[in-house]
Structure 1
Amino acid sequence: MSKPSDTKKENEPLEDFSHCHEGILRKLEMLNELPALLEPAKRAREIAASALEFFREAIFEHHLDEERELFPAVLESAEEGDERRHVQALAKQLTSEHRELESTWKRLEPELKRVAKGQDSHLDVAAIERLVTQYRAHAEFEERELLPLSQTILSRNASHLGALGLSLHMRHTPRKPTTYI
């Protein structure tokens, strides 16, 4: 007849198997979470890649269009005195905001590239939120202050508005290489 302590020793190998199953089942439950995480991870990569492309190709170009074309055209057409000083102040403020937004973007860009590639990232969530909030405020200010004023100023002379349109068109029209025969 076996003693109670002997039975415990005899059951230890079976308990080890049971404990292993507990660990295996915990890991399998974690694995079971994976399918639900794949789609959000894919979406994160897509959003990061799209943002990278869009910011460089659209937003930086938009800022250049404003600074090289719109601001100078409005300044040139503005009346001497208060109107011109107001346009100068707006252009200076908006250009400063452009640099600030671009600077924030450049700090985010390396980590966004990592996200786009599906790599681990230490993305600054607060910086993204700040960029979105600041850009929204920038765009709203521009829509409310600069663009209506620009419309008023440039509409005084149809050729000024036309010249701006042509200049923007020329900036964005791909140039074909010239061949000389």
Structure 2
Amino acid sequence: MSKHQSNQHRDERKQAATQRIKEKVAILAKWESEGITTENPNFFVPTSKAAFCRWEDEKLEKLVLIDGKETTVCGVFSFTDATLDKPYNSTHKERAVDLIAKLKNRRTKKGQNTEIKKLKAKVKEYEISIQNINNELVESRAENKELNALLSAKRLEVERLTKRLKNVVPLGPKEVV
């Protein structure tokens, strides 16, 4: 193999690696702008530069913008940290690190928001339960008051009837009602 062919292969590998980096950065940019959407329940979102380099997902398919052109990325593939650290990839590396931080921050905030929403919903449930119990207590007290009034009225009626009965039929010591 001639030196020219060797340089040509090296340039092709360099371009292929840079293209893989651009594709991953484009996917992160799309997720950052539109939110993370995927059909794959086991999808992966890199949370560090090293994870970005190791990130592989052959089934991931996304329509993204690369160098101003719409491109469908069919799978993402790993590369070494050294490849990302090459001077000609520095802008892609900076963009990747920035997007990873934004996505990580967004995911944390969304997780917190989700947790806060769940807790607020739970508090609302408890407030409704407490209100229902208070309403039942008020109703029970009102019903108790009515029943006590009815009981008092019935006792008075029994006393009145007992007095009338004593007036009509004198009762002896053994015939107490």
Q: TM-score, normalised by structure 1?
A: 0.30
Structure with greater helix share of residues: 1
Structure with greater strand share of residues: 2
Higher normalized contact order (CA 8 Å, seq sep 6+, divided by chain length): 1
